[in-house]
A and B are shown apart, each in its own frame.
Chain A
Amino acid sequence: MANEKKIMTGVSRRGFLKALSVGGAGMLIPSGVSAVQERVPMPSDGELATLLDLSKCIGCGECVRACRESNAAKFPEPKKPFPDLVPASRARAEDWSDNRDVDDRLTPYNWLFLQNAQVEYEGESYDINIPRRCMHCQNPPCANLCPFGAANKQTNGITKISDSLCMGGAKCRKVCPWHIPQRQSGVGLYLDIMPRFAGNGVMYKCDRCYQLLDKGELPACISACPEDVQTIGPRHEIVARAKALAKEMNGFIYGLDENGGTNTIYVSPVPFKLLNKAVDKGKGKPHMKPVIDVMADETNLATATLLAPLAGVAAGFLGFGSKLLKLGESGNETNGGSDES
């Protein structure tokens, strides 16, 4: 606890000094895009979110290139040949190491790509480019359902997969509403355990350039963009900004409520229904459909789990009590009470 506090004040002081040198009170209530852009996001502000103003993106691809450069050291260098997986009919290696240049979809070597949508809306035609990557969900199923604790959400809102713990079972890709994480075989922990029988590599996706954020710098895709498409900041500020922007352009928002809320908020001048229809979708090319909160049932069941022991205590003190006791005392082994369960 004390430890955490120390880190938090440390970071905010740094952020504070930086903000002072950049633009005085800009740190508290950013007035223009640039104020937020130049501001170093502080983890002590809680979850960080990004805003993508799709009306500005020109599709130059600078962010895609910057992403690859910034994360090159994290890309997998698989050992070949891959283990012969058992059973061969069900478990197949996935290999992108000879196709590292593919940039029109998500791969273990390409964590950000551009989707393009040409749409007609209210009599006008639009050419919209959409940078796509992990949404950094607020309650990420990829992390909640990872059985090894390899995928986790950090307190600053980054969802990150540990390449030293991931077994590559691709469960996160299956449970992610956008199927974002991508697998490379021939790397990771599974090689040291039972390489042929369990696991199949490591899953890769955007980690929001945590190595830069940790230093108080902006993620590469944000600083590389010549059009200032992306803004990063504390989620509450970004949400307010996204709503204001949408109102201003009479536009639409995606990611605010998707999957119960994400930390990637798109604002577009045309409805996302049209964009979703127009973009190329498929493996590694996520959709833009509305997404319900996939963890909602678990959230409700958590209450049931909490109430169950209370019910047990109540049952112990009430009806069940005498019955159990009587059976127990006489050592009676008939299961006369089994219906009560």
Chain B
Amino acid sequence: MKVRPYPAWITRLYVFAMAALAATGMMQMPLTKRYFISDIPGMAWTSDFFLVHKVHYLLAALLLFVIALVAVHWFRYWYERLVLTPMGMARVVILGGLVVSGCLRVYRNLPDVSLDPSIILAIEWVHLVLTMVMGGVALAALLMKCSAYAKRG
């Protein structure tokens, strides 16, 4: 593996959060029971919609923490030394969309919030489509061996 100019643990934490968010996001669709996934020992929780939902919230909090930590470092120190790779740039943009739509989704779920159904529909589908786009771009980046977001500039 190519050595990245930033510590490995932050990469690992980010990859974990993203993978787990994608997984718990997909589990929002009621398919784990139908396809026996929740029958696998240790996977029964995947058919508990509320639990999966809450885990997605917690993972989102973790992701937002990591993003904020990295952003602060970027603007304080790294921007002088590092530049985003093209694939990194693409994914930062998609990530931004996922975060914004996800946070709007959390906002919509608050008790005193009523948004217009067409707005909710847009938020929902932006979130879902960006998840798929992110999956595609991440896979492409891996295959093209340019999965690092930044390199020394």
Which A residues form the contact surface with B (CB < 8 A)?
A: 4, 47, 87, 90-91, 138-139, 141, 144-145, 147-149, 152-155, 157, 160, 162, 165, 169-171, 174-175, 198, 260-261, 293-295, 297-299, 301-302, 304-305, 307-313, 315-317, 320-321, 324-325, 327-328, 331-338, 340-341
Contacts and interface: CB of A to CB of B under 8 A. Distances in A.
Contacts of A4: 116
5 contacts: A149-B123, A169-B29, A301-B57, A308-B64, A336-B7
A324 B67 contact: no
A47 B114 contact: yes
Contacts of B4: 333
Contact of A308 (B8, B30, B68): B68
Interface in B34-60: 34-36, 49-50, 53-54, 57-58, 60
A171 B106 contact: no
Contacts of B34: 87, 90-91
B26 to A, nearest CB: 9
B68 A301 contact: no
A337 B76 contact: no
B28 A145 contact: yes
Contacts of A331: 3, 5
B111 A316 contact: no
Contacts of B125: 149
Contacts of A293: 111
Given A149-B121, A171-B49, A308-B61, A332 B9 contact: no
Given A298-B57, A305-B60, A338-B9, A333 B76 contact: no
Contact of A335 (B12, B60, B62): B12
A304 B54 contact: no
A295 B109 contact: yes
Contacts of A148: 124, 128
Contacts of A169: 29-31
A153 B114 contact: yes
A148 B29 CA distance: 9
Given A295-B111, A315-B69, A145 B9 contact: no
A335 B117 contact: no
Nearest to A165: B121
A154 B54 contact: no
Given A324-B7, A335-B7, A313 B111 contact: no
A333 B3 contact: yes
Given A87-B34, A302-B109, A313-B68, 4 more contacts: A148-B124, A171-B49, A298-B109, A320-B69
The range of chain B's interface size is 35 or more
Contacts of B95: none
Contact of A171 (B30, B61, B65, B114): B30
B49 A174 contact: yes
A154 B115 CA distance: 7
A87 B34 CA distance: 7
Given A91-B34, A175-B50, A298-B54, A312 B7 contact: no
A174 B58 CA distance: 22
Contact of B33 (A90, A147, A325): A90
Given A47-B114, A139-B111, A175 B121 contact: no
B78 interface: yes
A302 B50 contact: no
B89 interface: no
A152 B5 CA distance: 46
B130 interface: no
A334 B60 CA distance: 26
Given A90-B34, A305-B61, A316-B69, A155 B116 contact: yes
Which of B34, B67, B116, B120 has its CB near the most chain A CB atoms (within 10 A)?
Answer: B34
A90 B36 contact: yes
B10 interface: yes
B121 A152 contact: yes
A30 B2 CA distance: 74
Interface string B17-35: 0000000000011110111
